[in-house]
Structure 1
Amino acid sequence: MNPSVPPGPADDPRTAPYPDLVASGGLRPALASTARELHVDLGLAGDGSESDAQDWSTARIASPRGEVRVNLGLGVRRFSLTMDSGRGYVWASGSTTELSEAVGAIAFWREGATLVELGARFPFMEFSRMSRAYEDGNPIETQWAILMESDEFPAYRELLPALHADPGLRRLFPFFSHWTLRMTADHPDAGAGEIVVRRRAGEDYVLWSSAAPDRKVGFRRVEDVVRAAAALRPTP
């Protein structure tokens, strides 16, 4: 629940930045009204006024690429947009003080705009390198590149390129959780199974599979870790 801007009289200090929303009866009806004025489609035709706190100050709009969420700022006029994929990552996000800009960005996204096109027309919308990679269809390759270029995990600097050099392992999606390297065949699917590597203080590596978490094996050499990890990779 988002009680930041509850329904109430126009003189409520929390609703003061949003006189147009007060007049419309909430965020969702205001979005629908502005969309009609701009002659764009948000898929909100026929929506009426909302009454409770959450519906007054938030809106969820369907799109072919996942849900678009709109939230109001607290004490200041701001429409925050999140283009969610529904697959564990966000396409783009941003905020604007103009309701018409928020409506325009949502409509443009729903029409099938690319991330680059969205950012060019609505500069307040931002997206990450990984979001662009998901759009381009190469998230695994990009994720490996990001990790190998990063200085955030120096203890794994030698191991990452060695794992990536293995043809089978580089088809897995790598990511860090609690300073532990994990590789999975399907990152958004928590049940897909993982190969896990942790660097210990003694400079050795501990390797195991999420399918058998009690079978941890230690290695000193990077090449041995790679060989053992490749053996744990699920057969397609």
Structure 2
Amino acid sequence: MTSQPVPDLTSLYPELGRDGTLQIALQKAVDQAGYRFDVLLERAPGWKRTGARADGDSRATSVHLGIQDRCFVMSFWEGGVAMAKGTTTSLNEAATATGDWQSGATLEDLQSACPFVHYGPLAEAHERGDAVETMWTIYRQTAASHVDQDLIEACYAQPQLRALFPFHSHRSLNFSRCTGFPYTHDVPVVTPVDGRYRVTWWETRSPQGPADIGEADNPRDAVALVVAHLSPECGPAVAGTANDLGKSNST
């Protein structure tokens, strides 16, 4: 199959001009809107012309250009969490949304000013500060096939694990001491395998891959293995990322 040629970006985005970049065009629009911060090039070299970002102490906004049709594809981040997304055909709207988010707007205020922005219940939970409990609730209520409900309930019944932020990587259940990505990986992982439960350290604990702790016949015994290997300083999960916690075992 013959690939379709990439459209001329100038025809879709005359603001860029022949040799311009999104970073230059967005910076100009941000400045005209009255905001005072730097718009940066996207880090990936392949996005040099079509991607841009704004970074703050804890917030970030990324903007990318659509290739087939005119659209500015936006993501709004805080504390390592993708809080909201949106797509608009207007560069000025993209500038306003970037400026409002980087200036500290709440999710509700951002959406009110920029109706093309959307967010979900988990983002609201992160904003309220109860993302851990909300994530557990989502897992306890989901019908997703990769989630072992018996394992979820056994973990939730254990206060030390219930205080951590749960997340799945493929079929493995992980626990983080922070609620944003990158997560911490210093708590054992549980993977259902052929009716049993394999408990391991995250792969970075061993150059050869996951370091085995043991296997259990049921979720309750698997949870006991995890709890037995928790470090003394393993407290409730906090907002932010593994980098914020100063840990070296993040991915």
Q: CA 1:200 to 1:94, structure 2 compared with 1: closer, same or farther past 3 Å? A: same
Partner residue of 1:206?
A: 198
CA contact (8 A) 2:61 2:102 kept: no
Q: CA 1:174 to 1:71, structure 2 compared with 1: closer, same or farther past 3 Å? A: same
Residue number among 172, 179, 196 corresponding to 1:180 in the alignment: 172
Question: C-alpha displacement at 1:193, in angstroms?
Answer: 0.9
Question: C-alpha displacement at 1:118, in angstroms?
Answer: 1.2
Q: CA 1:169 to 1:72, structure 2 compared with 1: closer, same or farther past 3 Å? A: same
1:34 aligns with 2:26: no
CA distance in 1, matches of 2:79, 2:220: 37
Partner residue of 2:37?
A: 43
Count residues with an aligned counterpart: 218
1:146 aligns with 2:141: no
Runs of 4+ in 1 over 6 A off after TM superposition: none
CA deviations on 1:85-129 (whole Å, 9 max, x unpaired) are 463x32222110011111111111122111122123212112233
CA deviations on 1:9-67 (whole Å, 9 max, x unpaired) are xxx733201122218943233223323433x205149x9xxxx9844332222234333
Q: CA 1:206 to 1:14, structure 2 compared with 1: closer, same or farther past 3 Å? A: same
Over the aligned positions, Cα root-mean-square deviation in angstroms equals: 2.9
1:90 aligns with 2:82: yes
CA deviations on 1:60-84 (whole Å, 9 max, x unpaired) are 2223433322211113211111223
Partner residue of 2:248?
A: none
Residue number among 219, 223, 226 corresponding to 2:223 in the alignment: 226
Report the secondary structure of 2:212's partner residue. Answer: strand
CA distance in 2, matches of 1:24, 1:214: 51
Residue number among 90, 99, 105 corresponding to 1:113 in the alignment: 105
Q: CA 1:44 to 1:159, structure 2 compared with 1: closer, same or farther past 3 Å? A: closer
Partner residue of 1:16?
A: 11
Q: CA 1:76 to 1:199, structure 2 compared with 1: closer, same or farther past 3 Å? A: same
Q: CA 1:207 to 1:26, structure 2 compared with 1: closer, same or farther past 3 Å? A: closer
1:129 aligns with 2:126: no
In the alignment, structure 2 segments of 5+ residues that lack a partner are 1-5, 234-251
Question: C-alpha displacement at 1:155, in angstroms?
Answer: 6.1
Report the secondary structure of 1:152's partner residue. Answer: coil
Report the secondary structure of 1:56's partner residue. Answer: coil
CA distance in 2, matches of 1:215, 1:33: 54
TM, length-normalised to structure 1: 0.78
Residue number among 47, 72, 87 corresponding to 1:79 in the alignment: 72
Partner residue of 1:157?
A: 149
Partner residue of 2:62?
A: 69
Look at both structures and tell me which one has the larger radius of gyration over its CA atoms: 1
1:193 aligns with 2:186: yes
Paired-residue identity, %: 27
CA distance in 2, matches of 1:193, 1:140: 17
Q: CA 1:151 to 1:91, structure 2 compared with 1: closer, same or farther past 3 Å? A: same
TM, length-normalised to structure 2: 0.74
Report the secondary structure of 1:83's partner residue. Answer: strand
Report the secondary structure of 1:194's partner residue. Answer: coil
